Amino acid sequence: MKRLAVIAALLTLLASTLVHAQTRAVAIFAGGCFWCMEPPFDKLDGVLATIPGYIGGTSADPTYEQVSSGRTGHYEAIKVEYDPARIGYSRLLEVFWRNIDPLDATGQFCDKGPQYRSAIFVTDDAQRAEAEASKAALVKSGKLPGRIVTEILPAATFYPAESYHQDYYRRNSVSYSFYRWNCGRDRRLEQLWGPAPKS
C-alpha cells in the first residue's frame, strides 16, 4: 500500500508539473532600458512575470557594469513569462512595437550604445514566424517614417539582472518617472505611434 501511495503522489506531482509547463511560455524582447519595458507588459492579463536581464553577448554571467560598457555584446532585455491560454505571442509583439523606436539603430531614446538596441529574441520557429510576420506587416503599413532596424534573433542564454534592477519602476517610482521623462521616451513614442492607449 505504501508503494502505491508513493507512486500516486509522484504521478500527481508529475501531472502538476506538466500542467504548469503548458501554461507558462517565454518571450524575450530588447527595447532599450529594461526598467521601461517592464510596465507595459506587467499591465497585461496573462503575463505572469517580467524579468530584466542580459542576452546575446559573449561572456557568461555579465554584470550591469560590464554590459553598460557596451563591450560585451549583450543587450538589456526583458524576459516575459506568460500564460499562452490567456494571451498570445502576437499580442506581446504588438505591445513590444508600441513601446520602442524601431527606427533607431544606435540605441533607444536617450540611451545610446549596442546594449540599448532593440531586438526580438525568438525561442522557436513558431515565434520566429510570428515575429517576422509582425515586422513585415509594420513595414507594409507605412506607418513609420523610416526603415525598421529592429532585428529578429535566436534566443541565447538569458541572464537575470541584479536584484536592484528587478521591479525598479515600482520600488523607485519617483526616480524612475524622472528618468523616463528626462529620457524623452514617451514624447518620442507619441511622435511615432500617436497618443498612448488608455489603460
Q: What is the DSSP letter of 8?
A: H
Indicate which residues carry an active-site annotation: 33
SS3 of residue 176 by DSSP? helix
User: Residue ranges of the alpha helices (H) in 69-183?
Assistant: 89-98, 125-141, 168-171, 173-183
Whole-Å CA distances, 173 to 69, 170, 176, 178, 183: 25, 5, 5, 9, 15
User: Residue ranges of the alpha helices (H) in 23-124?
Assistant: 34-42, 64-68, 89-98
